[in-house]
Amino acid sequence: MSAISPRHYLWAGLDFLLDEEARPVLVEANKSSHMLGEYLQRYGDERPFERIAARMNACDGPPAILWRRSDPVPQADEDICFITRHLRPFLDRDPVLANVEDNVLPRAELLTREGNLIRPGSLFRWWYGCPTSYERAGTLVINPNCLWLVTRDKLASYRAVESARSFRAAACFPVDSAVEVELLLAEHAALFARGYVLKPRMGWGGYGVQVAGAGEAPRRIGPGYLLCERIFPLPVKGLPGRYWDARLFVMDGLCVGGLVHASESPNTNYWQGGQVFPLEDALLSRLAPAAEEAVRWLDEAAERLHRGPIEDDSPLLRVEY
Is the pLDDT reported for residue 2 higher than 70? no
pLDDT of residue 258: 97
Burial code (b: 16+ CB inside 10 Å, e: under 16) for 104-116 equals eeeeeebbbeeee
Mean pLDDT estimate for the chain: 94
Q: What is the mean pLDDT of residues 99-103?
A: 97
pLDDT band, very low/low/confident/very high, at 45 (cuts 50, 70, 90)? very high
Name the CA radius of gyration of the chain, rounded.
Answer: 20
Share of residues in the chain with pLDDT > 70 (%): 99
Instruction: Give 311 or 240, the one with higher predicted confidence.
Output: 311
Is the pLDDT reported for residue 244 higher than 90? yes
Is the pLDDT reported for residue 242 higher than 90? no
Contact 255, 248 (CB under 8 A): yes
Share of residues in the chain with pLDDT > 90 (%): 87
Q: What is the mean pLDDT of residues 15-38?
A: 95
Q: Is 104 helix (H, G, I), strand (E, B) or coil?
A: coil
Nearest to 271 by CA among 25, 15, 6: 15
Question: Which alpha helices (DSSP H) does 119-260 contain, by range?
Answer: 133-136, 145-151, 154-160, 178-187
**Which segment of 132-146, 184-198, 265-279 scores lowest on mean pLDDT?**
265-279
Dump pLDDT digits (tens) for 162-173: 999 999 999 999
pLDDT band, very low/low/confident/very high, at 3 (cuts 50, 70, 90)? low
Is the pLDDT reported for residue 91 higher than 50? yes
Q: What are phi and psi of 28, to 5 degrees?
A: -165, 145
pLDDT band, very low/low/confident/very high, at 221 (cuts 50, 70, 90)? very high
Residues in CB range of 136: below 8 A, 6 or more apart: none
pLDDT of residue 226: 97
Taking the C-alpha atoms of residue 227 and residue 208, their distance in angstroms, rounded to an integer, is 12
pLDDT of residue 74: 74
222 beta partners: none
pLDDT of residue 1: 41
Is the entire prediction scored with pTM above 0.85?
A: yes
Is the pLDDT reported for residue 287 higher than 90? yes
Q: What is the mean pLDDT of residues 72-100?
A: 92
pLDDT band, very low/low/confident/very high, at 274 (cuts 50, 70, 90)? confident
pLDDT band, very low/low/confident/very high, at 259 (cuts 50, 70, 90)? very high
**Which segment of 41-45, 74-78, 93-97, 273-277 scores lowest on mean pLDDT?**
74-78
